[in-house]
Structure 1
Amino acid sequence: MITLLENQQIEQLLSRQIVGRIACHVDNLLYLVPVSYAYDGKYVYVHSHEGTKINMMRKNPEICFEVDDITDMANWQSVIAWGRFEELKKEEDRQKALRTLLNRKLPLSSSITTHLGKTWPFSEDDLDDITGIVYRIELTKKTGRAEQTSFSHSDCQ
């Protein structure tokens, strides 16, 4: 049975995941792309490079953001949120966003072989040298759905 997520569950899912999807639109063209992100309870922070997504969001900053956690087809959670793209150009804003990304993602990607350099993942020492676009999305409306059954395909394995 599909149920609505409560606000606390929505916030937990947004905070727990690191990959979401941004949908943007300009001139009757829709574009959907996965992004790695960090969420601080108000904003989704993303580091990117110039391209279709950035160009479209500069023209029309209204976006839709989706994140999910799917165990199988009968056990999943999904959040859809709407918000507004804001490119961070001030150095202090960029640094805050990059630190938020670093603190969220680095513990998940660190290993003996992980290289911390000027490309992702980056280190605290490299923040001044990071190129590309840093932006945030203020999520203004959020909704969530879930399905959870007592039977799962993983129970059969």
Structure 2
Amino acid sequence: MNENIDPVIVLDSVQSMARLRAQDLGRIVTHIGETIDIFPVNYVVDGDGILFRTAPGSKLFELTVNADVLFQVDDHTDADAWSVIVRGRAEALETDAEVDRAERAGLRPWIPTLKRVFVRITPTTITGRAFHRDPEPERTGVAEY
């Protein structure tokens, strides 16, 4: 590895959205007071937003108390890895038009449970990073700070 080259590649929003579109499993992070939770969800990118389905329970309750969320997706191979983080607001879809559009997005639960509530995450910021997976640099010698 060339020590003069930054191993981390910053992805712009277009590159980050392309990575999001290529996957279907992510993690949503909710926050209420001192409680922070993380939930795996299958999802689909719909326009500039992210859709997932859920049922009544802690995830939906937490989103109604505080709609500010983080959404994270990543992937890796033996040679490369990447991560995208979306900061945004999550809101349950309420109108018939919103639900009809969400139904056409092709999002289906992975497990045979009824998840009748569609939730859209509207991004406020999207950041991504990618890198080539190289061996760790030598640890001998004096560390540069």
Same fold at TM > 0.5: yes
Preserved contact between residue 20 and residue 34 of structure 1 (Cα < 8 Å): yes
Q: CA deviation at 1:27?
A: 2.0
Equivalent of residue 86 in structure 2, options 77, 81, 88 = 81
Quick check: which has more Rg, 1 or 2?
2
Q: CA deviation at 1:12?
A: 0.7
As a proportion of its length, which structure holds more strand? 2
As a proportion of its length, which structure holds more helix? 1
Aligned to 2:118: 134
Q: Deviations over 1:50-102 (max 9, x none)?
A: 11111001000000000111114x510110110001111212211111211x1
Give every structure 1 segment of 4 or more consecutive aligned residues whose post-TM-superposition deviation is greater than 2 Å.
none
Is 1:38 aligned to 2:62, yes or no? Answer: no
Aligned to 2:25: 19
Equivalent of residue 66 in structure 1, options 72, 88, 103 = 72
Q: CA deviation at 1:132?
A: 2.1
Q: CA deviation at 1:150?
A: 7.1
Q: CA deviation at 1:7?
A: 2.5
SS in 1 for 2:77: strand
Counterparts of 1:92 and 1:12 in 2: how far apart (Å)?
A: 26
TM-score (norm. length: structure 2): 0.79
TM-score (norm. length: structure 1): 0.73
Equivalent of residue 4 in structure 1, options 2, 10, 18 = 10
Return 5+ residue gaps in structure 2 as ranges: 1-6, 136-145
Q: What is the aligned residue count? A: 128
Cα RMSD (Å) of the superposition?
Answer: 2.3
Percentage of matched positions with identical amino acids: 30
Return 5+ residue gaps in structure 1 as ranges: 110-118, 121-129, 152-157
